[in-house]
A = this chain, B = another copy of it.
Amino acid sequence: MSGDVYGTNDQKAAARAWFEALRDRLCAELEKIEDEVRGPAKDFGPPGHFVRTPWLRKGIEGDGGTMAVLRGRVFEKAGVNVSTVAGEFSEEFRARIPGATQDPRFWASGVSVVKNPRSPKVPIAHMNTRFIVTTKGWFGGGADLTPVFPLAGDTADFHAALKAACDRFDPAWYARFKKWCDEYFYLPHRGEARGVGGIFYDELAGGDFARDFAFTQAVGEAFLDVYPRLARRHLDESWTEADRQVQLIKRGRYVEFNLLYDRGTLFGLKTGGNTEAILMSLPPLTAWP
Contacts and interface: CB of A to CB of B under 8 A. Distances in A.
Interface of A: 71, 77, 189-190, 248, 252, 255-256, 259-260, 266, 269, 275, 278-279, 282-289
Leading 9 A-B pairs by shortest Cβ distance? A259-B259, A282-B288, A189-B269, A286-B286, A189-B275, A259-B260, A285-B287, A284-B289, A190-B275
Contact of A259 (B71, B248, B256, B284): B256
State the oligomeric state as a number of copies. 2
Contacts of A259: 255-256, 259-260
Contact of A260 (B77, B269, B285): B269
Nearest to A255: B255
Contacts of A190: 275
19 contacts: A189-B269, A189-B275, A252-B286, A255-B255, A255-B259, A256-B259, A256-B279, A259-B260, A260-B260, A260-B266, A279-B288, A283-B288, A284-B287, A284-B288, A284-B289, A285-B285, A285-B286, A286-B287, A286-B288
Contacts of A283: 288
A266 B261 CA distance: 11
Contacts of A252: 282, 286
Contacts of A260: 259-260, 266, 269
